[in-house]
Amino acid sequence: MLAHPAAPEVACPRASRCRDDRTETNDGGAVPDGRLLAVSDLHVGITENRSTLDALRPTGPDDWLIVAGDVAERVRDVEATLRFLTGRFAKVLWTPGNHELWSTADEQSELAAPARYRLLVERCRALGVATPEDPYPVWYGPDGPYAVAPVFTLYDYSWRVPGVTDKQQSLARAHENGVVCTDEYRIDPAPHPAVDDWCRERVAATERALAAHDPGLPLVLASHWPLDRRPTDVLRYPDFAQWCGTELTADWHRRFNVAAVVYGHLHIPRTTWYDGVRFEEVSLGYPREWRRRGHPRGLLRQVLPYPGPAEQPVPPPPPADAKPDAKPSSKPDAKPGSTSGAKPA
């Protein structure tokens, strides 16, 4: 993980060291009347998605924005997008998704994913964008302060379908079913032997930081991958869940003082509740997805203050005997464009 002279290697070890941004948005010291907003999976490398950027606007001068990964594949596109957003929002926080980690033929192709991540963190810091390597910024709003923690945890193939006992079996089944995430061909985890080794390192470091955080200051966790497996129950292709997270984070929303979890990756925007904690999937997704479903809740999700409703039913998982293409009409495809039965060109 990254070292930086002005910040700890991982997130804030104590709330007293968390950054207080009140003076940046309100010279009088009063509580700002801002909102904490979130979005993910902008995929601005796609022309139609790039055209939506101008619609990402704050409601006022004190609004913060969480960008929960999959901005783009190219470093320059990620940097340009975050620069644009920092010109609009009082504070921008970013955590990477899998697409930021892909090797691309036309840009920094020699960089393995950990090196790409370090480069992106450096570019973010130059823009004043908070990353998983920085102290947790503290958002002050009408209902009190919250530490906003961008976390980067990856996946370890532990979210397997029933009857599959290890990573090798899980990948073999995915290949047989023609549902293989492009990460398998585009993410080089060197010097780590595999992505799951890198995942375990990331989880351990992040867990230490969360354990050291002041439990009296509630957290908003912002991750690209869902930190609990249950959001993946509605995936059209269950085999894809193995690229969506890790069992190692399953109890974080219960162990720590977490007010909300923000994530993306699934391209299934919705609000669900698990163990009394709100989970917000905030992705834009691909054009064929958002053209079909529209943006009934807007392009940006308001995380805080929570606008309600107080309760939101969790959709039940699909029947065990359902065919892969037999899905509820409200359930989008599982990341079309990111799954493939063969190595991409």
Contact 96, 130 (CB under 8 A): no
**What are the structure tokens assigned to 160, written together?**
């397997």
Per-residue pLDDT, 324: 36
- What global pTM score does this model have? 0.83
Alpha-helical regions (H) of the chain: 22-25, 47-50, 75-86, 113-127, 167-177, 183-186, 195-212, 252-255, 287-293
Per-residue pLDDT, 144: 82
With 0-12 CB in 10 A as exposed, 13-18 as middle and 19+ as buried, what is 185? middle
E-strand ranges in the chain read: 36-39, 64-67, 91-94, 138-141, 144-150, 180-181, 219-222, 258-263, 270-274, 277-281, 301-304, 339-340
Residues of the chain with pLDDT below 70 are 1-31, 105-106, 108, 310-345
All domains in the chain, ordered by first residue: 15-156+183-232+248-311 (3.60.21.10)
Residue range 87-140, pLDDT digits in tens: 999 999 999 999 999 987 667 677 999 999 999 999 999 999 999 999 999 999
Contact 94, 121 (CB under 8 A): no
